[in-house]
Amino acid sequence: MSILKTENIAKHFGGIYAIKDISIELGRNDLVSIIGPNGAGKTTLFNLISGVYKPEHGKVIFQDSDITTQPPHMRSRGGISRTFQNIRLFEGLSVKENILAAMDPRSKYNLFDAFFLTPARMKQDKENVEKAHELLDIIGLWNERDKQPGNLPYGLQRKLEIARALASEPAVLLLDEPAAGLNPSEVRDFIDLIHKIKEDFGLSILLIEHRMQVVMEMSRWIYVINFGELLAQGKPDEIQKNPEVIKAYIGEEEAC
């Protein structure tokens, strides 16, 4: 029973296929990884799932409905959240406000409430602040709540992006190289965090990651993409032994 899948999805830029007929599937409360050399099309696939790009053909199915033509903000409201390979936080908003901003699209009050501080607004904002505080506490950003995101160390910026994605109450979380740039002790910490949020929030997670340690330890299933095409798929131990995968990786990536 899958929560999210793509069916023969394809996208090209100027005649060159970045993604060609790829079908993947993510189950409920599942963790599936997508790996592949740089430029293989992994992020393009995320952009297709989150609606940044429209595919040339193929479908994106989320909770049994076709969302191929839905705009990005509707997908987020529907329950697909993501993080970005190059961190994209909102400068000019504090850490806490970054979280609140992700809750705001689902807040109910209108412009009038906003202008004149009606009880409806005060109540809603108070609830959101409480939820944001809880989330900051879970992720481990409580002490940084009033700082500007730009002033945080790299690892904490990664965490904040995940926290922000969680704030929009997703069913599916797309993580684009979340462990990039982390030092080994941070990686350990990170793996534990992902396990924890996956269980606590009942999430299904689709992960793009270069660190084999993370991928092999966490994934139930792995898709390998090369030159925009699906090269292999399988359980972590199968992928590790797959000769084609090894060939694609030799000289390209060091498996760390």
Partner 1 sequence: MGLLFSVLTFTSITIIGVISIFIITGLTGLFSLGQASFMAIGAYTSGLLVTKLGMPFPLAIIISVAMGVLFGLIVGLPTIRLRRDYIALVTFGFGEAIIAVLNNMTSVTGGATGMAGLPQYTNLALAGGSAVVCIFMARNFKYSRFGRQCLALKTDELAAKSIGINVTRLKLTAFLVSAGMTAYAGVLFGFYTTYVDPGIFNWTKSAEWIIMVFFGGIGSLTGAIVSALILGTLPEILRFASEWRIVIYSVTVLIIINYRPKGLLGERELKLADIKKLFSSWRKAL
Residues binding partner 1 (CB under 8 A): 50-52, 71-74, 76-77, 81-82, 84, 88-93, 97-98, 100-102, 104-107, 109, 111, 113-117, 121, 124-125, 164-165, 167-168
Report the b/e string of 117-141 with b at 16+ CB within 10 A.
eeeebeebbeebeeebeebbebbeb
User: Is residue 19 exposed (0-12), middle (13-18) or buried (19+ Cβ within 10 Å)?
Assistant: buried
The nearer residue to partner 1, 166 or 230, going by C-beta atoms, is 166
* Residue 163 beta carbon to partner 1: minimum distance, rounded to whole angstroms: 11
* Residue 204 beta carbon to partner 1: minimum distance, rounded to whole angstroms: 17
CA atoms of 203 and 37, how far apart (whole Å)? 27
* Residue 233 beta carbon to partner 1: minimum distance, rounded to whole angstroms: 26
The nearer residue to partner 1, 31 or 174, going by C-beta atoms, is 174
The nearer residue to partner 1, 89 or 212, going by C-beta atoms, is 89
* Residue 164 beta carbon to partner 1: minimum distance, rounded to whole angstroms: 6
- CB count within 10 Å of CB 174 equals 25
Nearest Cα to Cα of residue 222 among 198, 243, 206: 206
The nearer residue to partner 1, 18 or 132, going by C-beta atoms, is 132
The nearer residue to partner 1, 138 or 187, going by C-beta atoms, is 138
The nearer residue to partner 1, 201 or 227, going by C-beta atoms, is 201
* Residue 201 beta carbon to partner 1: minimum distance, rounded to whole angstroms: 16
CB within 8 A of 146, min separation 6: which ones?
Answer: 94, 95, 96
The nearer residue to partner 1, 85 or 242, going by C-beta atoms, is 85
Query: Strand 57-62 and strand 2-13: pairing?
Result: antiparallel
CA atoms of 234 and 215, how far apart (whole Å)? 12
CA atoms of 27 and 205, how far apart (whole Å)? 9
* Residue 219 beta carbon to partner 1: minimum distance, rounded to whole angstroms: 23
Query: Strand 31-35 and strand 57-62: pairing?
Result: unpaired
- CB count within 10 Å of CB 21 equals 15
* Residue 139 beta carbon to partner 1: minimum distance, rounded to whole angstroms: 15
